[in-house]
Amino acid sequence: MAERFQGLGMPPPPQDKDDEQLFAQYMQNLKLYNDEMEKFGNLDSNFHNEEDLNNFLAADFPMPEDINWTSKFWNEQMRNMLHAERDPYKFEPGFANPFLDKPDSFERGKELFHQGTLGEAVLAFEAAVQQDPNNSDAWRFLGTAHAFNDQDKMAIGALRQAVQTDPENIEALLDLGVSCTNELAQNEAMSTLKNWLRMHPEYREIHGLSEGDVIDQGIPELERVITMFVRASEIQNSDPDVFVVLGVLYNLSRDFDKAEKAFDRALELDPSDFSVWNKLGATQANSPKPSGSKDAIACYRRALELKPNYVRAWVNMGISYANRRMHDLAAKYYLKALSLNAQATHVWTYLETALAWMNRSDLEAKLQQRNVELFREEFKF
């Protein structure tokens, strides 16, 4: 789970020309107010929350159509995510995958995956599913590797293939449901997680899963699914998967206290699950608690202790530092994430914002080259 709801968690990069123009306008205005604020001292001390910042931008440097850029951009991105077509998984055209001629590409991919070499693992899994498109587990591992690399859209494409190939692959159903919540595809998330309960031998009898069950249509679907998973936790109190899903669902309903408790219980059952430490951190960062970002950083650190190449935790760590106005540290974590996964191109947008906050216009030429090695003299990562 990435920090999707956080105030300054930075939305995804522009997806089309119009969004690129919006972003260019935003960056221009950001530099303008950075120049202006130099007259008044430390930039970070002038804004105590996102509302203050947005009011300043809207008042002093009006956005297109006289509305705040960040609100418009985020709303447009939400609409794009919620209404996105279900495109099939796309392989990079013209790329010579070195694992394609290897008969053991799936097994090799799992070795690389467990070693934390996720970039090579992705290639091995891609080769495996091209060799055998009906290998549901290979599709699942491919999706999970993308998720760990902070690439949810690629993860969802692969996990959909895993479920399409084998509708009873409960591991793939679980991973797909969680990834869909990260991309705010709530309808698909709810239906996928209910299917996970239906396919699970211990939970398939829960009320509301069978076609003949009478359900109250006045209850929102999210609330109904939460009730189902609460019932699952009562049936089996030692299943960490149930508590992970409950944590994710409570995040969707913005009940962050209950989400924290659910993830805490999952970690009691399996304290070595680095992805749950990351989810707990993201929950804390998104909560309204004053200590949220600070607590989140401790969780991300634990996740990285368990999985040093976990790109998603590196990115989330950077976002938490950005929220604490520690933009130099945020930039280091973004660069570390990019050094581990060059395909996580959205992180360049986060880095660009951090550098703008730091008034580092001298690094703009390097930024345009999209080469992390050019930044090693400026940042240790």
226 pLDDT more than 90:
yes
pLDDT of residue 59: 45
Q: Is the pLDDT confidence value at 1 over 90?
A: no
Does residue 292 carry a pLDDT above 70?
yes
The answer on pLDDT for 314 being more than 80 is yes
Average pLDDT, the chain: 81
Query: Is it the case that residue 97 has pLDDT exceeding 50?
Result: yes
Question: Among 41-45, 148-152, 156-160, 204-208, where is mean pLDDT lowest?
Answer: 41-45
What is the spatial distance between Cα 91 and Cα 137, in angstroms, rounded to a whole number? 18
For residue 86, name the pLDDT band (cuts at 50, 70, 90): low
pLDDT band at 294 (very low <50, low <70, confident <90, very high): confident
Q: Tell whether the model's pLDDT for residue 63 goes beyond 60.
A: no
How large is the average pLDDT for residues 79-86?
48
How many residues does the structure list for the chain?
381
pLDDT digits (tens, 9 = 90+) for 246-285: 999 999 999 999 999 999 999 999 999 999 999 999 999 9
Residues with Cβ within 8 Å of residue 301, at least 6 apart in sequence = 317
Buried b / exposed e over 311-323, threshold 16 CB at 10 Å, is bbbbbbbbbbbbb
pLDDT level of residue 182 (50, 70, 90 thresholds):
confident
The answer on pLDDT for 67 being more than 90 is no
- Alpha carbon distance 170, 120 (integer Å): 25
Residue 219 confidence class, pLDDT cut points 50, 70, 90? confident
Nearest to 236 by CA among 199, 206, 276: 206
pLDDT over 60 (residue 65): no
d(CA 196, CA 174): 6
- Calculate mean pLDDT across residues 191-195: 94
- Stretch 117-134: mean pLDDT: 95
Q: How far is CA 272 from the centre of its chain?
A: 20
pLDDT value for 323? 85
Is the pLDDT at 21 greater than 90, yes or no? no
Q: What is the pLDDT of residue 203?
A: 95
For residue 214, pLDDT beyond 60: no
Query: Residue 337 burial (CB < 10 Å; 0-12/13-18/19+)?
Result: buried
pLDDT tens track for 320-361: 889 888 999 999 999 999 999 988 889 999 999 999 999 999
Please give the model's pTM, rounded to 2 decimal places. 0.76
pLDDT in the model for residue 23: 53
Query: What percentage of the chain carries pLDDT values higher than 70?
Result: 75
Token pair 């009906």: residue: 134
What confidence category does residue 211 fall into, taking pLDDT thresholds of 50, 70 and 90? low
Q: Are 349 and 35 in contact (CB under 8 A)?
A: no
| Angstrom distance (rounded) from CA 7 to CA 52 | 12
